[in-house]
């Protein structure tokens, strides 16, 4: 046990031969980037997989989100959550918008829909909720509130690729949803991202924003950025997509081992499956209540590390606590998020994780309680 090092995640890869076969054509065409044939093939494959009509590929998830917010031409305030990765809040702030933080609910750690309304002002233009760990937000309530107040809804769906609710993929909710295909995600294109969107006209705006605002060879219509997905990334996506369902099944097997071992441990909260949601098992968080469990989150994190097991305090700190935002936000306004951030730990979870190792991790955690 001491010898091994178990990381919190391990990137999925197709076989070397399969990937090489897929990129071979590039040596004939010399078409490396700028919306080549693999880019188109990947876009089509994603639309089919997610059962949607509109998608735009990006070089990473963050720029996809940043440019999507820009494309909606938002102003003023945006209601969002601090229980997320740096990207969400940064994307809002880098668009000169003011994030207004809504607390999360203690059950699935997504935005608490009962606390959104009270944050809406005459400056509010959008809601940017985050699906976390493979859990979905209450997409129905959020849409209701948005419709009533004329707000856009842009999901950070980085954790929710291939998550389904009542037969619809996570890509079909809100005005747009951003996916990250970063190496550490359930599905990767090395680095990469995509935006699924409702209004087909939006595609052209996004296309320009990710390609310098260029309209045609002699016309630059907007102050765009550069965020194109290249052919090597698209090839990785096409290859990995074939194995996605199988990878998710393997993840589920590990999740079941964790559930069976940890559900009854007093002082540990694990995620309950959401009603009508088919998860992708992106992460396995446990929430450690020190008073009942006897040890705090940092202790468990350190102890596991001594056994070569690397867990992650994810999400900690909250984005409204970051030093770059010091004194900008009042952390005490999101007390549930604050509490969970101090107690949460995500355990190793990836398709190739051995069942035996998952059992061992559970054994180590249970032993800490009994010490």
Ligand X SMILES: *Cc1c(COP(=O)(O)O)cnc(C)c1O
List interacting residues with ligand X (CB under 6 A): 60-62, 84-85, 87-88, 130, 156, 158-159, 180, 182, 193
Gap between the Cα atoms of 194 and 44, Å rounded: 12
Given the complex with ligand X, which of 297 and 312 has the nearer CB atom? 312
Whichever of 85 and 284 has its CB closer to ligand X, that residue is 85
Nearer to ligand X, 54 or 88 (CB): 88
Q: How far is the CB of 148 from ligand X (least distance, A)?
A: 26
- Nearest residue to ligand X, using CB? 61
Minimal distance in Å, beta carbon 346 to ligand X?
11
Work out how close the CB of 156 gets to ligand X at its nearest, in angstroms, rounded to a whole number: 5
* Rounded CA separation 230/150 (Å): 36
Using DSSP's 3-state secondary structure scheme, residue 38 falls into helix
Q: Are 196 and 171 in contact (CB under 8 A)?
A: yes
What is the nearest approach in angstroms of ligand X to the Cβ of residue 183? 9
For ligand X, which is the closer residue by CB, 112 or 268? 112
Tell me the C-alpha distance between 321 and 309, whole Å: 27
Rg (CA), the chain: 21
Measure the CA–CA gap between 312 and 147, rounded to whole angstroms: 37
Measured from the CB atom, is 343 or 346 closer to ligand X?
346
Q: Closest separation between CB of residue 67 and ligand X, Å?
A: 12
Q: Determine whether 201 is exposed, middle or buried from the number of CB atoms within 10 Å of its CB (0-12, 13-18, 19+).
A: exposed
Q: Is 155 left (phi over 0), alpha (psi -120 to 50) or beta?
A: beta
Nearest to 337 by CA among 111, 37, 99: 111
Instruction: Say if CB 70 and CB 209 are below 8 A apart.
Output: yes
Give 256's contacts (C-beta < 8 A, 6+ positions apart).
none
**Of the two residues 87 and 261, which places its CB atom closer to ligand X in the complex?**
87
Q: How many CA atoms lie within 13 A of 75 on its CB side?
A: 2
**CB of 60: closest distance to ligand X in angstroms?**
4
Minimum Å gap between C-beta 222 and ligand X is: 22
Q: How far is the CB of 220 from ligand X (least distance, A)?
A: 26
- Cβ proximity to ligand X, 85 vs 293, nearer residue: 85
Measured from the CB atom, the residue of 135 and 180 that comes closer to ligand X is 180
Helices (H), the chain: 16-23, 26-29, 37-50, 61-71, 86-93, 139-149, 202-209, 231-262, 290-293, 297-306, 335-343, 355-370
């Amino acid at each position: 046990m001491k010898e091994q090092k178990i990381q919190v995640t391990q990137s999925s890869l197709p076989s070397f031969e399969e990937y090489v076969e897929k990129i071979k054509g590039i040596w004939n065409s010399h078409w490396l980037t700028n919306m080549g044939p693999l880019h188109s093939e990947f876009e089509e494959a994603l639309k089919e997989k997610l059962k949607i009509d509109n998608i735009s590929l990006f070089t990473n998830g963050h720029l996809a989100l940043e440019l999507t917010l820009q494309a909606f031409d938002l102003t003023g305030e945006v209601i969002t959550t601090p229980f997320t990765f740096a990207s969400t809040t940064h994307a809002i702030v880098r668009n000169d918008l003011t994030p207004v933080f809504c607390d999360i609910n203690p059950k699935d750690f997504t935005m608490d829909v009962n606390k959104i309304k009270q944050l809406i002002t005459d400056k509010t233009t959008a809601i940017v909720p985050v699906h976390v760990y493979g859990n979905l937000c209450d997409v129905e309530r959020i849409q209701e509130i948005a419709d009533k107040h004329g707000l856009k809804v842009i999901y950070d769906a980085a954790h929710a690729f291939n998550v389904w609710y009542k037969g619809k993929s996570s890509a079909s909710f809100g005005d747009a949803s951003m996916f990250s295909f970063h190496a550490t995600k359930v599905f990767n294109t090395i680095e990469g991202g995509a935006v699924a969107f409702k209004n087909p006209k939006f595609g052209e705006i996004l296309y320009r924003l990710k390609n310098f605002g260029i309209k045609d060879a002699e016309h630059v219509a907007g102050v765009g950025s550069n965020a194109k997905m290249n052919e090597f990334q698209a090839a990785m996506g096409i290859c990995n997509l074939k194995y996605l369902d199988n990878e998710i099944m393997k993840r589920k097997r590990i999740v079941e081992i964790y559930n069976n071992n940890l559900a009854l441990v007093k002082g540990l909260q694990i995620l309950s499956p959401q009603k009508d949601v088919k998860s992708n098992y992106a992460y396995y968080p446990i929430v450690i209540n020190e008073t009942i469990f006897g040890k705090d989150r940092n202790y468990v994190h350190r102890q596991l590390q001594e056994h070569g097991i690397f867990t992650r305090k994810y999400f900690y700190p909250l984005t409204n606590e970051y030093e770059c935002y010091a004194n900008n936000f009042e952390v005490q306004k999101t007390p549930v998020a604050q509490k969970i951030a101090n107690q949460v730990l995500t355990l190793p979870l990836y398709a190739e994780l051995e069942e035996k190792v998952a059992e061992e991790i559970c054994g180590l955690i249970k032993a800490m309680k009994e010490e």
